[in-house]
Amino acid sequence: MKLIYRIVLRLSAVLIPLMALWGMLFFLMTVDEIHDEADDALDDYAELIIIRMLAGRELPSLNSGSNNSYSITPVDREYADSRSHIEYYDAEVYIPEKGETEPARILSTIFQDNDDNYYELKVAMPTFEKDDLVRTILFWIVLLYLLLLLTLIGVTTWIFHRSMQPLYALLRWLDHFTPGRRNDPVPDDTNITEFHRLNVAAQEAADRSEELFESQKQFIGNASHELQTPLAILGNRIEWLLDNTDPNEKQVEELFKMQRSLNHIVRLNKTLLLLAKIENGQFPESSEVDIAALIREQAPLYNEIYESRHIDCRIDLPEQFVVTMNDSLASTLVTNLLKNAYVHTEPNHGIDISLCDRTLVVANDGDTPLDGTHIFERFYQGNKKEGSTGLGLALVKAVCRYYNLGLAYDYIEGKHRFSVTWPYKKEEK
Amino acid sequence: MKILIVEDDPSLREIMQRALVQERYVVETATNYAEADAKLAAYTYDCILLDIMLPDGSGLQLLEHLKQQRKRDNVIIISARDSLDDKILGLDMGADDYLPKPFHTAELLARIKSVLRRGKSGGEMDLRLGNVSLVPESSRVLVDGRELPLLKKEFDILLYFMQRPNHLVDKTVLAEAVWGDHADQADNFHFVYAQMKNLRRKLTEAGADIEIKSIYGFGYKLIPPTE
């Protein structure tokens, strides 16, 4: 989840209920105030009428331009005593001007004139105006609430993006950083202290990993040099013994065995160097390689070498399957998969090689499933084979990782299946 | 034929020198950049075996120097780094061949012969032993001037032995040389025997006076005719 989404979500989670609560409180206070005002207005109106009545002056006409109305009814003393002095209530009132009944707020009070006559005064004020007001206020509060929320989130997002530019620049730079290739320095055009420190730290880490990478490369180069020369000396001394000392059968046998062990070390050394080179990404040059053709070329070689095992190799390949790879890595991939299958297949069993949907599957008969989690590790061998480096599948894995190919092992219906999948690329059709 | 060995490791230098002297070459050695540079300035050699990593400089620098002086000595680079970049760079700078360490003595001798022959005949080169001659470029074999048709693997085996007369070769080494790295875990060598049997039969039928002998059952040796 992107940081900005997380911030917006959290901000919303807090602001939505909080602002709703504020809005509600504000609304309730306003409505309360409106009711109060309305009752006050009724009070004033009633007082005006009573004063005029008691003073014997002309009462206001029933229709004075407002929708207010009143009625005065003489009542007897008992009635007056039984009622409270002043009372507010809501009721339906008939309004003659409109010719219909409307909900209204009514004030009912009882007063007494100088002649001890009791009158009941009812003053009514239709509530539709008040309701209108309340509705309008509610509408605006909701609208303002939404507007405020959206503005807040929008502004936050914008400010966040603006302020986080240096972080995004750093992330983009990190995405493109590969040790051993030419890398630009960390972009640092910020005056924000925290980001500047982050950039400095990233640059230091990058420099350190570049240095490590360099020294590792140098170490491998030097180690290979140091190892290859004594290996060459040893091999040549054995050859000299063979050619110049007229050894007897036993001696020749021993010398040959020494030579084979030596060749094994040489192979191991070369393979480790190759692995290191692949993992260091030192195979930049690539070309169009036809994997199908490569298999057609390699499989007969293995058939010839392992002829005595009578392995039945079934090949199902398309006309061609062209990928962009380094050609020596492509051949490393294919030969190691094939070799693994041939070396580990029991005599009179079969191997299936197929290629479809950009997936190369090499399957061979086997009795027990292998440990899929360790099978691609260096020097992991189910059962030790003499002369095997134990690096074949590690090489396959290294090549797959180098080109982001999918590599999988599974055991289905008595077959070990190794599959390599080339992902679809836009430029490749 | 005069050869200069530029190699800093004393043991390897000694072995190379011994092998070349045995082949009746005149051999001189240099242990570092300065010594090699001085010798190259003073003398001319038919072939220079050049180690790239020297204690006081790079063999490639020496190659550059040689090029500037317009010397036409043959150069074989011997490098511990089997890297394509070095190879391309070296060959671009005028080296004639590139031999990665560790190498077999026989391989070294074969490369030297090939480089010298190329230098002399201007590209056309064939290997001759007794009445058999072999042209690697066009994959042809002639016995007494008559063409001997061989299959690909038979030809590769013959080429390998023609480059290493009198040299005892282990069958596993042969298998790896001809069939490539694939063969290192073969559990038997029937495929080598089968090809070898056919090759020997074809050579005998054609009347070749060289013989590939089986030695104690684990190796082979090509015996040229005695003069």
> For residue A229, which residues of chain B lie inside 8 Å, CB to CB?
9, 12, 80, 101-102
CA atoms within 13 Å, Cβ hemisphere of B12:
28
State pLDDT tens for residues A100-136. 787 888 888 888 888 888 888 888 888 777 788 888 8
Question: How many other C-beta atoms are found inside a 10 Å radius of the C-beta of residue B187?
Answer: 14
Structure tokens that stand for B97 in this block: 């061949």
Distance between CA atoms of residues A317 and A297, nearest Å: 12
The DSSP H or E segment spanning A364 is strand A359-365
User: If one looks up domain B127-223 in CATH, what number appears?
Assistant: 1.10.10.10
Amino acid (1-letter code) at residue B24: R
Q: Are strands B26-30 and B2-6 parallel, antiparallel or unpaired?
A: parallel
**Cβ distance of B188 and A240 shorter than 8 Å:** no
Integer Cα distance of A144 and A157 in angstroms: 20
Q: Mean pLDDT score of chain B, rounded to an integer?
A: 84
A155 pLDDT more than 90: yes
Closest listed residue to residue B214, CA positions, set B222, B226, B224 = B222
Q: Which residues of A touch B215 (CB under 8 A)?
A: 252
Q: What is the DSSP letter of A289?
A: E
Predicted ipTM beyond 0.90: no
pLDDT tens readout for residues B25-53: 999 999 988 898 888 888 888 899 998 88
Which site among A253, A268, A305 would you substitute to test the B interface, given the most B Cβ atoms closer than 10 Å to its Cβ? A305
Domain ranges across chain A: 3-159, 193-279, 287-421
Predicted confidence (pLDDT) at residue A295 exceeds the cutoff of 60:
yes
Least CB-CB distance to A335: which of B168, B182, B186? B182
Q: Cβ distance A8 to A157 under 8 Å?
A: yes
Residue A429 has pLDDT above 50, yes or no: no
User: B2-121 has which fold?
Assistant: Rossmann fold (3.40.50)
Transcribe A59-89 into DSSP letters: PPPS-SSSS-EEEEEEE-HHHHHHS-SEEEE
In this prediction the pTM is 0.61
Region(s) of chain B under CATH 3.40.50.2300: 2-121
Six-digit token string for A344: 């580990």
Residues of B within 8 A of A326 (CB-CB) are: none
pLDDT at B121: 55
The reported pLDDT for the residue numbered A393 is: 87
B91 min Cα distance to partner chain A (Å): 18
Biggest alpha carbon–alpha carbon distance for chain A: 160
How are beta strands A359-365 and A415-421 bridged, if at all?
A: antiparallel
CATH architecture, range A3-159: 2-Layer Sandwich (3.30)
Each residue's pLDDT tens digit, A378-418: 777 666 666 677 788 888 988 888 888 889 898 888 888 99
Q: Please check whether the two domains, A3-159 and A287-421, share a CATH topology.
A: no
CATH class of A287-421: alpha beta
Angle at A339 between CA A336 and CA A345, to 5 degrees: 140
Report d(CA B161, CA A218) in Å as an integer.
38
**Is residue B24 predicted with pLDDT exceeding 80?**
yes
Determine the residue among A220, A222, A241, A256 to mutate to test chain B binding: the one whose Cβ has the most chain B Cβ atoms within 10 Å. A256
For residue B132, which phi and psi values (nearest 5 degrees)? -105, 130
Q: Where in chain B is the domain with CATH 1.10.10.10?
A: 127-223
In whole angstroms, how large is the CA radius of gyration of chain A?
Answer: 47
Phi, psi torsion values for A284, nearest 5 degrees: -70, -35
pLDDT at B39: 87
Q: Read off the pLDDT of each residue in A153-174 and give the average, rounded to a whole number.
A: 89
How many Å apart are CA B190 and CA B183, to the nearest integer?
12
What is the per-residue pLDDT across A332-383, written as a single tens digit (0 to 9) for each?
A: 899 889 988 888 888 888 899 998 888 999 998 888 888 777 888 877 766 6
Residue in the block written with tokens 């090949």: A315
